[in-house]
A and B are shown apart, each in its own frame.
Chain A
Amino acid sequence: MIDATLIPWIVTGVPLLGAGLTPALWTHPHRLMTWSVGVCTVSLASLVGFAGFLTTPPEGLLLLFLLPLAAGMSLLGQPHHRDHRASWVLTLIFLGLGLGALTSQPVVDKLFLMAIHGFVIVLLYRHHTPLWPISWWGLGAYTLGALCLLLTLVAAPPLSSMAALLACTILLPVVPFHDGHLTALTRLPGNLPSFMVLLFPALGLHSLAPIAATLPDSVVWVMSILALAGTAYGAIKALAQSRVRLLLAYSSLSFFSMLWWCVVTTRSVTPRAALFVGAVGLVMCGLLVAWQIIRTRYGDDVDPQAISGLASTMPQYAVLLSLLALAAMGLPPFGVFAGFMGLLLSSTAAFSAGIVILVCAWLAASWYILAFVQGLLFGVRRTDLRHADLLQTELVSLIILVLTLLALGVIPISLFGPDRTTPPASANSGSFAWNR
């Protein structure tokens, strides 16, 4: 019988060990890719096997299962090229550290988080170019995050609590601390953006869970204002974007800000919140993988408006991208809709201006996501371009992502942890205040 205290180390160790053995396959990109995906699969299997022995956090175990899945799928969606080897190995390292941060006891989890921040800072510094001076802000955000994590370890409350909250705002993005999120999604190499879009918010939600209930009223007020501002800001910025990665980054910012509002107003992190984070992260992962497929074929700086009519030339890609877009627009029966409805229905206020802003941002997603997908898939077919439909690995990656999103939309949340959400006070006669 394995000691329960060892289990977090085992689940952390599997991907890290896998990363440690990659030098043996370094000269064979194809084998390295197969190995990395295999490690992710073993990691997922080990998590499923040990799930019963792990302490269930307030947000449940869903995110724990989704991390190796997202890592594996982001790897599968990549072309087998030697330039991407470093990002594959880093994916395994980030996966190991991420699982460590999610399963370890307090203090140790902070160390894992600091290690993740350290790696990201180094990566962003290495990939910084003078053409993107704004990425200094992202580097600064992650440095601030690392400092805040250090403070939570060495300082006493209330400073440590504030530092913990600040660290959460960088991981689970909200304005004005969203630069790190934007930098990570636009500047990190290879498949890392498509994995990080789930990893960071998942870690942020996990870190937020213990402090959500203890937030003072004034902090709740400030955070709810920031969350609503972030929701609107993300949606407006996404509407204006022509670059796909930025569009997805701002879109995810808008969605994660919605989550912030729901968490701070209810002062609790529930499996519903994890479902929302997992679904949004996974759908963004899928869209980034889908965009990577286009970049692989048509170049890095391709304008999505310049390629049209893929529905007839790349039918498999078109169907899967359409389904991902449906999920990203918050349409049923996918996980984003389920998570969004779960959050709204568990909101403490019967109705409020906040909900109106959330619904408007949800509506805006239909506009910008559809415009992006429509530009790619429909319109006049470009006969001057060479078209090649999905490779087998790309196809598998997108199919698994779509099926997972579908599963997240239909399976009961209670499967991943006890849902302590209570139904609203049903129909008391009298008066409800509009919560302005």
Chain B
Amino acid sequence: MSFILLIPLLLLAAALIVLIGRDDTRGLRAKIAAYPIGAAFCGAIGTLYVVAVQGPISIRFYDPGSVASLIFPIGFYIDRLSAIMMTLIAGVSTLIFVYSTGYMYQDRHMRRYLALICFTDFVLICMVSSANLMMLFLFWQILSYLLYLLAHNHEHAATLKGAFNTFTLLRVADAAFLAGIVLAYGVYGTLEFQELFARATERPVALSLWPGIDINAATAVTLLIFVGAMGKSAQFPLHFWLPRSLYAPTPVHALLHAGIINAGGFLINRLAPLFGLSSTTLHVAFVVGTLTAVLGASMMLAQNDIKKTLGFSTIAQMGYMIMECGLGAFSLAVFHLIAHGLFKATVFLNCGNVIHKARQEPHVPHVDQQEEKENFSPLAWSTGFVTTLVIPLVILLVTHGVLRIPLLESQGTVIFLFFIWLTSSQAILTLTRLRAIASWKVSSAMLLTLLFVVFVYLFAVESFTAFLYPNPVEVASYFQAADLPNWLFDSIVLMATIMTVLSWCYLYMQAHGRTIWMPTWVSRWIEGGRNGLYVLFMNRLYADELYQLLGRTVMRIVHRFDKRERGWSR
């Protein structure tokens, strides 16, 4: 099974091919380097097949029992999760590299850039195939620094500032991750994944924070590690490095949004058995994820720059992914990150064309919306009614009866179905503009498409879950650990229902020129609130300004301390 080692080595070789040689041959070397990357992708597919058929592969260059070797333990553990991630990373990397060779052709630092891209792929592959928490952390940190270097144009002041902020913020998350590792080793005496999970499961340990205040060790460890994941996956309030890094070349974004940012989701999945032991951490993940999803999506709607819009869209999607983890649906999070990664890479690699076209052609983006006669359509109303109220009921029944997903025991699944409902309702409203629909054919096609998409999605997710976590008991235990208190669960479901129905009605009526009567002061208040929220989200919650203020305050305190203290800096 040693051929697996070739996958990262091929990426390293590609980096060296690009880096070493005369400058006049850099174009040729860049083309040659694409082959080892492609070969790494083929190797990753082969690994996925081998792992799926024969089970996990473990290669260790150290003795897990020896303390002395713990400082730099190089080893690979490739299970289905690792193999899937390797395939995704290697596949996206191949496309991005080939794209980059053309995109960066005339850049004078092309060689450095391409080598860094290959090296980042190498680090990512090593990270997802790590045999222990220490090795994972090693590559995790190197990735933080690579994100700083990948900003590329270090002569541009704004790029440099963004890169510095990215690195320092990621280091904050890294520090929490480090604390989590130290605590895990202190409590469980190992950083080997399987042993760590076994010890944490067998012997629960309580940490005494203060006399009378105890915390479960698994909760403490996972909370600290979760902060590490929050940093890489741009979760609120550690999200703002992502929009700031948008000055980097476009292919870097494709790699960032399709690969690097998924590190948080991967980390939680890798440590799923440990996270599954702590309901508190899962609930925290649910709250943080939900908040990030809502805020990210809201900020995305208010941006006027295509890259920023996509950046906040990614933040929202990452929030959604973390929320899925918080609900115990670890496999769904991986499914989501793969789908999102592929989608976002495509979009980013395309956005350059759109910008270019918009600069060249005055009619792009097209303005083809025509004013329609405002009239009430009973057919459209019926379609909306069926979409929002009847279909969810059908989905619930079919899910429960045909797919045999035990909804009553699984809060997470119900919440996901609600999200599917919300998303599809939103899609119907946005994409088809109900006021334009006056044909039963369109309505039927729309409803059937919706049903088809939802069931295919459910089927795909179920199959993927069975592939990633073949033991259904394990999956059920994660859902169980993530169970919310009943009152909270009921409130969420009720609130989601009310909000969806009301929003749908409001938007529908507005689309037909009808208004809901309300007192003038309420209308003014709503209008003012809407404007205020728009400004707030357009300015990204003033997070940049707040962090700058925080940084300035810290430095002011530091300088004041420095001046007051008798010392050498006087």
Q: Which residues of A contact B (CB under 8 A)?
A: 134, 182, 186, 236-237, 239-241, 243, 246, 249, 309, 311-312, 326, 331-333, 337-338, 341-342, 344-347, 349-351, 355-356, 359-360, 362-363, 366-367, 370-371, 374, 377-381, 409-410, 412-414, 419, 421-434
Chain B residues with CB under 8 Å of A312's CB are 155
- Indicate if the CB atoms of B67 and A351 lie closer than 8 Å: no
Q: How many A-B residue pairs have CB under 8 A?
A: 168
The complex places the Cα of A413 from the Cα of B168 at a distance, in Å, of 30
Per-residue contact bits, chain B 550-570, to A (CB 8 Å; 1 contact, 0 not)? 000001001101100111111
Partner of A237, one of B141, B155, B207, B567: B567
The complex places the Cα of A239 from the Cα of B561 at a distance, in Å, of 11
Find the A residue at minimum CB distance from B140: A332
Chain B residues with CB under 8 Å of A414's CB are 68
The complex places the Cα of A379 from the Cα of B569 at a distance, in Å, of 26
Tell me which of B168, B188, B558, B566 has the highest count of chain A C-beta atoms within 10 A of its own C-beta. B558
Is B476 an interface residue, CB under 8 A from the partner?
A: no
On whether A351 and B186 interact (CB within 8 A), knowing A367-B168, A422-B67, A428-B203, the answer reads yes
Partner of B205, one of A347, A371, A429: A429
- Indicate if the CB atoms of A427 and B187 lie closer than 8 Å: yes
Closest 7 CB pairs of A and B: A426-B189, A350-B186, A240-B562, A378-B154, A429-B203, A427-B199, A332-B138
On whether A240 and B570 interact (CB within 8 A), knowing A331-B142, A366-B171, the answer reads no
Is B208 an interface residue, CB under 8 A from the partner?
A: yes
On whether A434 and B207 interact (CB within 8 A), knowing A237-B562, A379-B155, the answer reads yes
Q: Which residues of B contact A (CB under 8 A)?
A: 67-72, 134, 138, 141-142, 145, 148, 154-155, 157, 160, 164, 167-168, 171-172, 174-175, 178-179, 182-183, 185-190, 199-200, 202-210, 214, 217, 220, 555, 558-559, 561-562, 565-570
For residue B324, give the distance in angstroms from its CB to the closest CB of chain A: 30
For residue A254, give the distance in angstroms from its CB to the closest CB of chain B: 13
The complex places the Cα of A412 from the Cα of B160 at a distance, in Å, of 37
The complex places the Cα of A340 from the Cα of B77 at a distance, in Å, of 25
Chain B residues with CB under 8 Å of A374's CB are 160, 164
The complex places the Cα of A223 from the Cα of B141 at a distance, in Å, of 32
The complex places the Cα of A350 from the Cα of B224 at a distance, in Å, of 14
Given A428-B203, A432-B207, 11 extra CB contacts under 8 A? A240-B555, A246-B568, A312-B155, A332-B72, A333-B72, A379-B160, A409-B72, A422-B67, A424-B189, A429-B205, A432-B217
Tell me which of B157, B160, B207, B567 has the highest count of chain A C-beta atoms within 10 A of its own C-beta. B567
The complex places the Cα of A101 from the Cα of B164 at a distance, in Å, of 43
Chain A residues with CB under 8 Å of B69's CB are 412
- Indicate if the CB atoms of A434 and B210 lie closer than 8 Å: yes
For residue A340, give the distance in angstroms from its CB to the closest CB of chain B: 9
Partner of B208, one of A134, A243, A342, A433: A433
For residue A364, give the distance in angstroms from its CB to the closest CB of chain B: 9
Chain B residues with CB under 8 Å of A347's CB are 182, 186
On whether A419 and B67 interact (CB within 8 A), knowing A246-B568, A338-B72, A430-B205, the answer reads yes
- Indicate if the CB atoms of A239 and B141 lie closer than 8 Å: no
Partner of B68, one of A337, A380, A413: A413
- Indicate if the CB atoms of A239 and B558 lie closer than 8 Å: yes
- Indicate if the CB atoms of A432 and B71 lie closer than 8 Å: no
- Indicate if the CB atoms of B568 and A182 lie closer than 8 Å: yes
Chain A residues with CB under 8 Å of B145's CB are 326, 331
Partner of A370, one of B167, B186, B189, B570: B167
Query: Secondary structure of the B side of the interface?
Result: helix
On whether A344 and B157 interact (CB within 8 A), knowing A422-B67, A427-B200, the answer reads no
On whether A359 and B210 interact (CB within 8 A), knowing A350-B186, A429-B203, the answer reads no
- Indicate if the CB atoms of B70 and A345 lie closer than 8 Å: yes
Chain A residues with CB under 8 Å of B187's CB are 350-351, 424, 427, 432
The complex places the Cα of A351 from the Cα of B141 at a distance, in Å, of 22
- Indicate if the CB atoms of A243 and B178 lie closer than 8 Å: no
Chain A residues with CB under 8 Å of B208's CB are 431-434
Chain A residues with CB under 8 Å of B164's CB are 370-371, 374
Partner of A381, one of B155, B203, B204: B155
On whether A424 and B569 interact (CB within 8 A), knowing A239-B555, A414-B68, the answer reads no
- Indicate if the CB atoms of B182 and A240 lie closer than 8 Å: no
Chain A residues with CB under 8 Å of B209's CB are 434
The complex places the Cα of A367 from the Cα of B202 at a distance, in Å, of 41
Chain B residues with CB under 8 Å of A432's CB are 186-187, 205-208, 217
Partner of B179, one of A186, A243, A355, A424: A355
For residue B551, give the distance in angstroms from its CB to the closest CB of chain A: 9
The complex places the Cα of A37 from the Cα of B134 at a distance, in Å, of 38
On whether A424 and B207 interact (CB within 8 A), knowing A333-B138, A374-B164, A380-B155, the answer reads no
The complex places the Cα of A47 from the Cα of B224 at a distance, in Å, of 45
Chain A residues with CB under 8 Å of B189's CB are 423-427
- Indicate if the CB atoms of A429 and B204 lie closer than 8 Å: yes
- Indicate if the CB atoms of A350 and B183 lie closer than 8 Å: yes
On whether A344 and B182 interact (CB within 8 A), knowing A331-B141, A427-B205, the answer reads yes
- Indicate if the CB atoms of B217 and A240 lie closer than 8 Å: no
Chain A residues with CB under 8 Å of B182's CB are 344-345, 347, 351, 355, 359
On whether A378 and B160 interact (CB within 8 A), knowing A331-B142, A331-B145, A434-B207, the answer reads yes
Report 24 cross-chain contacts, Cβ distance below 8 Å, ordered by A residue: A134-B566, A240-B555, A249-B568, A326-B145, A331-B145, A337-B138, A338-B72, A341-B71, A344-B178, A344-B182, A345-B186, A350-B186, A350-B187, A350-B207, A351-B186, A366-B167, A366-B171, A414-B68, A426-B190, A427-B187, A427-B200, A431-B205, A432-B208, A434-B209
Find the B residue at minimum CB distance from A371: B164
Chain A residues with CB under 8 Å of B561's CB are 236, 240
The complex places the Cα of A426 from the Cα of B69 at a distance, in Å, of 17
Chain B residues with CB under 8 Å of A366's CB are 167-168, 171
The complex places the Cα of A362 from the Cα of B176 at a distance, in Å, of 11
Find the A residue at minimum CB distance from B554: A239
The complex places the Cα of A52 from the Cα of B160 at a distance, in Å, of 51
For residue A430, give the distance in angstroms from its CB to the closest CB of chain B: 7
For residue B4, give the distance in angstroms from its CB to the closest CB of chain A: 21
Chain A residues with CB under 8 Å of B188's CB are 426-427
- Indicate if the CB atoms of B567 and A413 lie closer than 8 Å: no
Chain B residues with CB under 8 Å of A355's CB are 179, 182
- Indicate if the CB atoms of B210 and A134 lie closer than 8 Å: no
The complex places the Cα of A150 from the Cα of B303 at a distance, in Å, of 71
The complex places the Cα of A422 from the Cα of B69 at a distance, in Å, of 13
The complex places the Cα of A341 from the Cα of B179 at a distance, in Å, of 11
- Indicate if the CB atoms of B558 and A236 lie closer than 8 Å: yes
- Indicate if the CB atoms of A356 and B179 lie closer than 8 Å: yes
- Indicate if the CB atoms of B71 and A338 lie closer than 8 Å: yes
Tell me which of A309, A332, A363, A431 has the highest count of chain B C-beta atoms within 10 A of its own C-beta. A332
Chain A residues with CB under 8 Å of B206's CB are 430-432
Tell me which of B71, B134, B186 has the highest count of chain A C-beta atoms within 10 A of its own C-beta. B71
